Amino acid sequence: MYPIEAELDDAVRPWLSRAAELIRRRVRDARMHTENRAWVDAAERFDELASGLAIDVLGPAREEFYRHAFGAQRRALGPGVANPAVVPTREGAIMARTANVGGINQQLAVRNAIDHARHELQSAMAACEIDPTRRTVHYEAWEWRTRERLTSEVKSHLSDAQSSLYHAVGKLLLPARIR
């Protein structure tokens, strides 16, 4: 592993941890509300999860990756190569928070994954009606699969965003004659 890879991994780790904890809590809450037949409350937990991931994780993480990329790329390019006049801007930070990455709107992709989890929970509910003796098994399996799938989804988006921003900033820092 190159030193820059370890540095980039370290930058993703706290955001992934924050996302995983939010996912764990909201998915657990949705499951418990569903088991207690509190459908509206379960739906609210899914909505809170989607907005929490978009507002408290993906957006701020991407802005941090953008700002971090300037220092990381300057170190990687070495002295005298990076254009010192190019610095992070407010407009760049806003774009980093919201721009599509690889043609994908990450907030929408996460929302779609959460909607898929909501539909799978409805399937688990139906399975519980068919075989009430396995109620706990159905709900626990749904919770585990959902937690794993959503955490993996967010990890992928964080990594893709970081990589894209790192490379975009690297291009910005190169003098025009090198680009």
pLDDT, block means (10 residues), the chain with 179 residues? 75 96 98 93 96 97 97 89 94 96 96 97 89 88 97 97 95 85
For residues 141, 143, 148, 152, the Cα torsion angle rounded to the nearest 10 degrees is 140
CA distance 94 to 53: 17
User: Is residue 162 a contact partner of residue 11, using CB atoms and an 8 Å limit?
Assistant: yes
Say how many residues make up the chain.
179
- 101 backbone dihedrals φ, ψ, rounded to 5°: -120, 120
Identify any residues that bridge with 101 across adjacent strands, giving them in sequence order. 104
